[in-house]
Structure 1
Amino acid sequence: MANSAAPALGLRDGDADELDRLLRSTSTPAGLVRRARIVTLAAAGVANSRISEVVGTSVPTVLKWRSRYLHDGLDGLLDAQRSGRPRHLDHAGVISATLKPPPKKYGVTHWSSRLLASHLGIGNATVARAWREYGVQPWRSGTFKFSTDPELVAKVTDVVGLYLAPPENAIVLCVDEKSQIQALDRTAPMLPMQPGQIERRTHDYKRHGTTTLFAALEIATGQVTATVKPRHRHQEFLSFLRQIDRTYGDQELHLVMDNYATHKKSAVTEWIAAHPNIHVHFTPTSGSWLNLVEVWFGIIDRQAIRRGVFTSVKDLNAKIRAFINGWNDRKHPFVWTKPVEEILKKAQPKTN
């Protein structure tokens, strides 16, 4: 009889541990868990009728999975390939359609999963799965800009080399200006942060003018020399260079700057030429991100300007100076790590 006469099911080497793993895993499909329990109980010598009661199935089903295990091992417990209508369009076909622009009749710039599904005559869940599988995100867009500077390689090599191996007994300063900083005042007082509630401010504001921040970042220490000016002409920039000269005296200085027009005015270049201790290194066109002071500008913007409330330009300037004083008390070095080869690989357009 099938009830109790069946001998204990002999397991293959290593299958006991795998069956235990299947039974313990929360991600094992319910059907596979049931079959694993049947085989585990059968291996323990439990009668087929008792297994059917414990697992909640019929004795013929118990006999079926005993037999499947005897012939095929654990592979015999898996679902057989089901027959039926094949998938109408495989994932590669979905991606191929996604990478083509939508027909003009739709009047859209990119596909949504529902629009593409309707276009292909399939379910939008299929489209979504294909996009996840291939890492395609039609709803997202970014920007890029390739440098057209004919001296790109030389300038990148020069600036990065300066960061990675600065000359002995010399100071490397990254110099630039952050212009058009707005003194924005809110129309109502800020609501401070509270437990369970973030800081809040009104969506509208009052404009009280703008200021320009000139800054020189000493990369070895993080020290910032700075000033604020109402404008950012070459006259203001030259005045800032004189401030740098007074701050550092006769020390050898290497200034990293971008190609902004005010940095190349004749009055500026003549002044630099008259100071042999000052050496200028220009970043390539469309490569101002190589200037580390841009990183520091991001820091002051996030920590002091973007969420600040300023009742006047004078107030804005005072708070910028306060941040700089606090920064110089807690400053840290700025370390460049990306090699020239990796930068050039991304900065230059690919050619076929």
Structure 2
Amino acid sequence: MRGRKPVLLTLSDEERAALESIVRRRGSGEALAQRARIVLACAEPDSTNAGVARALGVSRSSAIVWRQRFLAHRLEGLVDQPRSGAPRQVGDDQIERLIALTLETQPDNATHWSTRAMARQAGMSQTMVSRVWHAFGLAPHRQKTFPLSSDPALVDKVRDMVGLYMASPDRALVLCVDEKPQIQAVERTAPVLPMRPGQPERAIHDDKQHATTDLLAALDVRTGTVIGARKGRHHAVAFCAFLDEVEAAVPAELDVHLVLDNAATYKTRLIFDWLVKRSRWHLHFTPTSASWLNLIEGWFALLTRRRLQQGVFTSTADLGAAIHAYIDQTNADPKPFVWTKTSDAMAWPTLRRSVP
């Protein structure tokens, strides 16, 4: 028996091009590409649903469905309609109560809620608690710290420091100076196994610890170059000797502004007498508990991550050679640390309370 003749399907040039693009494109899903092939086959002259089904290896009902869907909705009809899904089991009131419990209460036997404890308290599944916390960015198990300075001159010092970074004085050199103490030469008791595809570099957990060394460094804010010197001990005499090295390296016609933290070494009588004899030197101390304002800390972090953290050193001489090689590489291609935020725009709790 012969069935009813299918409705004629005619494609515009734009529709045919779009369907052929879907078939060729690698990113198209297999289901969408198959529907596009069915519609293209149905658009051939004298095509029948049974013939399309045989040619493409699909059922006759599939050919009928997608022919009719395209005739009714054109290209938009090839995309699946959103499904209604199961009805919600947790209402907005329950979610609001869950969030309030998370933010405003604390369990009896812990410092923070876990998903299981909150699920028992709120009367819902652990999975639902996890979904709600993720959606609202809640993570009771995490805690972040922030710096809080008690320095009474905090605001003035911050503005002074940021002003040096963002608008350095003319005919002057701004140097961020600090010490990285107790850098230890660490040697592994077995060779480090190199990295391989799918496997990181591996090092034995045992190590042989040699002596330590201290590094004094001065970062030129404008150019990004570094003056560095290793010292055996952290005391005023070593720092004074380092200042002599900086003095010799800085052109005589330039003023020198030093950014320092509040270490007692920098405030001894020896350093005071040294500075009294050199009127072009000016000291700027970071606020208490705010050594992060000193840009040399960023360079120390790069030194640690790039050269020291995974390094193997058989002696302090080996360690010192690696440090000086890194300083030479820094000076060969210097990249200054650019400060971009004004003092009034800094989101620091004490600073916000203190600024009038």
TM-score by length of 2: 0.74
Match of 2:208 in 1: 206
Shift in Å, 1:32: 4.0
1:189-200 alignment to 2 at 5 Å?
A: 190-191=191-192, 193=194, 200=202
- Worse overlay, 98-107 or 265-274: 98-107
Q: In the alignment, what sits opposite 2:304?
A: 301
In structure 1, stretches of 5+ residues that fail to align are none
Query: Pairwise mapping of residues 189-338 of structure 1 onto structure 2 (< 5 A)?
Result: 190-191=191-192, 193=194, 200-248=202-250, 250=252, 251-265=254-268, 267-313=270-316, 315-317=318-320, 319-321=322-324, 323-324=326-327, 326-327=328-329, 330-338=332-340
Q: Give the distance between the partners of 2:247 and 2:349, measured in 1 at CA.
A: 36
Number of aligned residue pairs: give it.
Answer: 346
1:43 counterpart residue number = 43
Report matched runs for 1:83-122 at 5 Å: 85-89=86-90, 97=98, 100=102, 104=107, 111=114
Structure 1 distance, partners of 2:58, 2:329, is: 72
* Contact 1:148–1:285 (Cα < 8 Å) also in 2: yes
Do the aligned partners of 1:95 and 1:130 also contact (CA within 8 Å) in 2?
A: no
| Residue of 177, 184, 207 corresponding to 2:179 | 177
Given residue 307 of structure 1, which amino acid in structure 2 is its aligned partner?
Q
Equivalent residues of 1:4, 1:48 under 8 A apart: no
The corresponding residue for 1:6 is: 6
What is the alpha-carbon distance in structure 2 between the residues aligned to residue 315 and residue 63 of structure 1? 79
| Aligned counterpart, 2:70 | 69
Cα distance in structure 1, aligned partners of 2:226 and 2:85: 71
| 1:137 to 1:270, Cα distance in 2 relative to 1, 3 A | same
Separation in 2, partners of 1:155, 1:178: 23
Query: Alignment identity in percent?
Result: 36
Give the Cα–Cα distance (whole angstroms) in 1 for the partners of residues 310 and 180 of structure 2: 17
- Alignment partners' CA distance in 1, 2:89 and 2:28: 28
1:20 counterpart residue number: 20
Q: Within 1, Cα distance between the matches of 2:241 and 2:5?
A: 102
C-alpha offsets along residues 111-134 of structure 1, whole Å, 9 cap, x if unaligned? 56x88889875585x777777766
Offset of residue 208 of structure 1: 2.9
Give the aligned residue type for 2:178: D
Match of 2:170, SS state, is coil
Cα 1:288–1:20 shift into 2, 3 Å: farther
Q: Deviations over 1:39-92 (max 9, x none)?
A: 332233322221222344444443333333333333444445545631434899
How far apart are residue 252 of structure 1 and its match? 1.3
Structure 1 residue 177: deviation in Å? 0.4
Report the more deviating stretch, 176-185 or 92-101.
92-101
Match of 2:162 in 1: 160
- Give the TM-score of the pair, scaled to structure 1: 0.74
Tell me the distance in 2 between the aligned counterparts of 1:9 and 1:121.
Answer: 52
For the 8 Å contact 1:95–1:131, the answer to whether it is kept is no
What is the SS of the residue equivalent to 1:297?
Answer: helix
Cα contact 2:106–2:113 (8 A) shared by 1? no
Deviation (angstroms), 1:338: 1.8
Amino acid at match of 2:181: S
* Compared CA separation, residues 35 and 97, structure 1 to 2 (3 A): farther
In 2, distance between residues paired with 1:122 and 1:271? 70
Aligned partners of 1:221 and 1:333 also within 8 Å: yes
For residue 214 of structure 2, give the secondary structure of its aligned residue in structure 1: strand
Q: CA deviation at 1:257?
A: 1.5
Which SS does the other structure have where 2:336 is aligned? Answer: coil
2-structure distance, mates of 1:195, 1:258: 43
Aligned amino acid, residue 230 of structure 1: G
Amino acid at match of 2:180: K
Residue identity in the other structure for 1:237: F
Deviates more, 1:134-143 or 1:308-317: 134-143
Q: Answer yes or no: is 1:347 the counterpart of 2:348.
A: yes
Superposed CA offset, 1:165-207 (max 9, x none): 322222221110001212323334x347487686654321233
Q: Cα 1:41–1:105, aligned 2, differ >3 Å: closer, same or farther?
A: farther
The answer (yes or no) to whether the contact 1:208–1:313 under 8 Å persists in 2 is yes
Question: Could you tell me how far apart the structure 2 residues matched to 1:12 and 1:136 are?
Answer: 52
Deviation at 1:332, TM superposition (A): 1.5
Judging changes above 3 Å, is the alpha-carbon distance between structure 1 residues 18 and 287 closer, same or farther for their aligned structure 2 residues? farther
In structure 2, distance between residues paired with 1:32 and 1:194: 43
